Chain A
Amino acid sequence: MMNRRQFCKKMFLVAGGVALPLAALELFDPKRLQAEKGGKGDTRWVFLIDTHKCVGCGFCVKACKIENEVPYDAKVSRTWVERYVVTKGGETLIDSPNAARDGFTSSRSDQNHNGLIDIKNEDIAKAFFVPKLCNQCDNPPCVQVCPVGATYQTADGVVLVDRSWCIGCGYCVMGCPYGVRFFHPVHHVAEKCNFCYHRITKGMSTACVDACPFGARRIGNLRDPKDPVTKIITTERVGVLKEEYGTKPQVFYLGLSMEVK
């Protein structure tokens, strides 16, 4: 017969054993460790945007929504285009009506609740378009903050979301300084651009790159020195967005202006 003291001891042992997650017993997978540390695999997907070439037609946004089944009329998008209008007075007006899905059909800037603002042509000092998408950061804050590990980085640098495991807490949405994440209106889990991972891993290009008529968007492999995108990134003056957050973004921009947020 077991006395109470023995019973309590045994119970603590059982409780301790149950509490120990199986994951703690997992052996180190060198391949995974390498991927987590940035590694030296033969692929690292990067993106190059030439803002000089973008005209704000919005074909990329359209193509992305259709390819990735983000409801067409939902007011969220994996990629979008921003229009910057800087006046001679130094004021900057930014807009992206409906994520620029239908392009910029009006010269008036859509300031949401503040309405449409008209700027006379002669008052404009400069104006340009900036396409945005997930930066597939080397140090992704969204991956860091996911409490269940539903969002993760692949060995080739792309950050993906496991729709079957995401609990929809929104911490990743809050953690992204670029505002690329949202909740999928149908699946009700976190959603973001994944460089059309299903396409690029099969040797195809992303939907937005294919749809861009002006070659403003290009995807490449940073670990391939012969890749034309890699050549531009390594030899020309390129910029990245919000470097100060230490996220090490991997979407590079040609012709980035200081007004870009």
Chain B
Amino acid sequence: MVHGELWTIKEAFVYPNEYIYWSIQIVMYPFMTGLVAGAFVLSSLYHVFGFKQLREIARFSLVFSFALLPCAPLPLLLHLQQPLRNHHVLMTPHFSSAIAAFGIVFMTYGMIVASELWFVYRKHFVQRAADLRDNWQGGVEHVSYIIFNVLTLGAYDIGEESLHRDEKAVKYLAAAGIPVACFLHGYAGFIFGSVKANALWMTPLMPVIFICSAVVSGIALCILSFIVVSRLRITLNNWKIRHGVGTPAVSEMKDAELAIVTQTSRYLLIFLVLAISLELLDLIFRGYTAVKSWDILRSVIYEKDFVKIFILQYGLGNLVPFILLLMPRLTIRRAVAGTLLVLVGVFMMRWNVVIGGQAFSASFAGFMEYSLPIIPVSMETFREGLFGALFVVSMPYLLFLIFSRVMPVFDPGKVKNNL
């Protein structure tokens, strides 16, 4: 069977070689890079622009961004027909291609995030290493000692002056990271926007639309994950209070949590308005200019994909969470619902761009429908099916779990007492 035949349903006239070649993993790719970029921008709002309200979530989103980072190229790898040749992109980059610089941009960004994390957590690494050395117990502790010792990179000075320099470095790196994060994701938009053969993709607005929706999805995921993690902490705290271990009162923790969520969701709303405005501008412009491709695009947008675009993306994914988050006296429950819906909306936006862009034939005389493979009966149906996508989504949480063992996302001083 030809690649793509399994999940493509053709309608009317479609060129014989046309199939939906870019499927669920290519939907996942901009979705995941968007989350990476968004999470980083959120943490930078605190580090660079000094939005003090974001202090608690900044540390969290930086580590989360780092956990998401390796998962951004994962869908690409799963999508390649020759995954073992992925390194060719680095060995013989063909720079006229928008994809060629991916490895370079991605690694630059990765290095910035890694160095920023190191400066943020250096004090913690040094303290932990010293702690473990002083209270030597051997065994697993020995491994931890080696890990923390290596992580210090030999810089043990945690004097006031030295820490001040660290803070400065964090600020510079976070500032440098914002354009790179935007570039990383705007670049994903460029990959689509520059395909002149595709009438739906080709628009210079694509990179900007991608950046805005990336920040929206990144902030939403950070809020959501932050709520989940802090709920776990509260539950743990309850247990501790019942067992008579001295900890802060639950109501105090809940208040702090709500304040952070309320502040952060304001920033989410700003970017959401920006993203929707740009998307609507694109749509209006296409309808108004009505070039050759508009006939087929109109039938895709207003007929074939109407539910996916106007109900799921704009309605359920944008309008409803907009109202939910904008209404006064935000509650945690409403924030969870709102951010979940925002994530659904951004995912549907990626879907409608990637799959929607292939929903019509380049002949403009027929349509293609994508039926997502659910049950992984073969490697191909796993890679390009529901389970492949779920695998990609679950990876960052696994990594976050590991990373947060080394780099605690809540203030290390407090963590020692609380957890």
Contact = CB atoms under 8 A, between A and B. Distances in A.
Interface in B340-356: none
Contact of B94 (A111, A147, A168, A185): A147
Chain A binding surface SS class:
loop
Interface stretch (A69-77, A201-209, A229-237): A69-77
A171 interface: yes
Contacts of B266: none
Contacts of B195: 145, 174-175
Interface string A129-158: 000100000000101111111100000000
Nearest to A165: B88
Nearest to B5: A75
B293 to A, nearest CB: 10
A93 B86 CA distance: 42
A79 to B, nearest CB: 10
A128 interface: no
A146 B2 contact: no
A111 B13 contact: yes
B18 to A, nearest CB: 5
A185 B1 contact: yes
Interface string A151-189: 000000000000001111111011111111111010011
Given A96-B16, A171-B99, A188-B3, A183 B81 contact: yes
A76 B2 CA distance: 7
B14 interface: yes
A92 B365 contact: yes
Contact of A176 (B10, B197, B363): B197
A183 B13 contact: no
Contacts, number: 160
**Contact size class for B?**
35 or more
B121 to A, nearest CB: 19
A174 B198 CA distance: 7
A168 B100 contact: no
A80 interface: yes
**Contact size class for A?**
35 or more
Interface centre among B89, B195, B292, by most chain A C-beta atoms within 10 angstroms, is B195
Nearest to A112: B10
B362 A178 contact: yes
A21 B93 contact: yes
A147 B97 CA distance: 5
A148 B94 contact: yes
Contacts of A171: 97-99, 191
Nearest to A171: B99
Contact of B17 (A98, A168, A179, A188): A179
B100 A148 contact: yes
Interface string B134-171: 00000000000000000000100000000000000000
Interface string A223-254: 00000000000000000000011100000000
A59 B17 CA distance: 18
Interface string B313-329: 00000000000000000
Given A96-B16, A111-B11, A174-B195, A165 B92 contact: yes
B81 A145 contact: no
Interface centre among A76, A146, A150, A169, by most chain B C-beta atoms within 10 angstroms, is A169
B102 A147 contact: yes
Contacts of B98: 145, 171
Interface string B81-92: 110011011011
Interface of A: 4, 21, 23, 74-77, 80, 82, 92-96, 98-99, 111-114, 132, 141, 143-150, 165-171, 173-183, 185, 188-189, 244-246, 261
10 contacts: A112-B11, A113-B11, A145-B98, A147-B100, A165-B85, A169-B81, A174-B21, A179-B16, A182-B3, A183-B21
Given A111-B13, A174-B195, A175-B197, 9 more contacts: A96-B13, A145-B98, A148-B85, A175-B196, A176-B197, A182-B2, A189-B81, A244-B292, A245-B196
Question: Which 7 interchain pairs have the tightest Cβ spacing?
Answer: A168-B81, A179-B15, A149-B94, A147-B99, A177-B197, A261-B363, A112-B10
Interface of B: 1-5, 9-19, 21-22, 76, 79-82, 85-86, 88-89, 91-94, 96-100, 102, 154, 191, 195-198, 292, 361-366, 369
